[in-house]
Amino acid sequence: MALLMVLLVPMVLMGQVPAEESPWTVEPWPADNASVGLSPEGIDLSQYREFIREGPATDGFQAFNLSGSEPSVLLALGMAIPWSMYQPPGPGPQLWIGGGDSWAQYAALPQNGFLELIAFSSRGGQARLSRFTSSGSSGENYSLAAGYQKMTVHMAIPGRTLLLLEVDGQPGNAVIADVISADAGSEARRSLPEEVLKFSPENAVVKIVSEGVLGYDVYVDGVYNRNEGSDGAVDGTAILPVKGNKIHTIAVVLRGDFGTIPFRREFNREFKSGNLYTLRL
């Protein structure tokens, strides 16, 4: 032990103690990413038939009485969760894609089809529904009452669309839809998240990659943002936007049985607009 200290002291004095390797890598977010990450993959739309609506789109969210209209199961994280066993992951608003007997966080539908979105908020407030597609990002503002609301939306842009609901600035979970182009043929081209998340210039993009920790939750500045498997694939990868040129705290939390937390890591850093920040766990 004494010999080890003798060896370490000169290294410290000379500044030669190796620094811990940063888990982050930073690179500019592509200005034109419309063709990045395409993968030919056929999607069988028949399994999503119960989620496809006839339309027309509605102007905003409309309250409805959930009693007697509860789904039997919630489809999320590759699992079917009985309605009676569901527990919201955090205080933020909830967003689902409504089906006949199920609600889901992912669906696929033909271009120019319609989806029914179901939202829940424990309080009323000003809501913003944001869309992230291969063509960019957009959003609409609504007044949202407390309780369950629903609206029908038109899905016109082919590729993957991420829909995110915020109430009074507090984001909830995202839902994802793959919109199949009318001329895609039997081998529809499905957009991967990298191709879709083309954010406005004031945002930065955070990509979390893990090989050993799967199904984790992501918190931004102490607020639940999403589950790693919310895009329908529990593969250790989560992608999310954050406000650029600001310091944020990103927490990655894996919850175990009986409320235990076997894994938690928290990172605090500044995120510059227009950059992609990859965190490898």
The pTM of this model reads 0.57
pLDDT 10s digits, 2-27: 444 443 444 444 444 444 567 899 98
**pLDDT band at residue 244 using 50, 70 and 90 as cut-offs:** confident
CA distance to 103, 151, 169, per residue, from 72 (Å): 8, 20, 31
Question: Distance (Å, rounded) from C-alpha 232 to C-alpha 175?
Answer: 9
Instruction: State residue 277's pLDDT score.
Output: 92
Instruction: State residue 155's pLDDT score.
Output: 93
Q: How many domains does the chain have?
A: 1
Residue 96 in any domain: the answer is yes
The 3-state DSSP class for residue 197 equals coil
**pLDDT band at residue 271 using 50, 70 and 90 as cut-offs:** very high
**Overall average pLDDT of the 93-117 stretch:** 91
Instruction: State residue 278's pLDDT score.
Output: 92
% of the chain residues with pLDDT over 90: 22
Residue 185 in any domain: the answer is yes
Residue 157 in any domain: the answer is yes
Residue 2 in any domain: the answer is no
The enclosing domain of 112 has a CATH number of 2.60.40.2550
Q: Could you tell me which residue, 51 or 186, shows the higher pLDDT?
A: 51
Instruction: State residue 15's pLDDT score.
Output: 44
How many CB atoms sit inside 10 A of residue 22's CB?
11
Instruction: State residue 196's pLDDT score.
Output: 40
pLDDT 10s digits, 28-81: 865 544 333 333 245 677 788 899 998 899 988 998 888 888 899 988 766 788
Torsion-angle region of 55 (φ positive above 0: left; ψ -120 to 50: alpha; else: beta): left
**Overall average pLDDT of the 164-185 stretch:** 79
Q: Could you tell me which residue, 127 or 223, shows the higher pLDDT?
A: 127
Q: CA angle, 207 as apex, 202 and 209 as ends, to 5°?
A: 170
Residue 93 in any domain: the answer is yes
Residue 105 in any domain: the answer is yes
pLDDT 10s digits, 246-265: 999 999 998 776 667 888 99
Residue 58 C-alpha from the chain's centroid: 24
Residue 146 in any domain: the answer is yes
pLDDT at 232 over 50: yes
Residue 238 structural domain: 24-280
Instruction: State residue 265's pLDDT score.
Output: 92
Residue 97 in any domain: the answer is yes
pLDDT 10s digits, 79-103: 788 888 877 666 678 899 999 889 9
pLDDT at 194 over 70: no
Contact 129, 175 (CB under 8 A): no
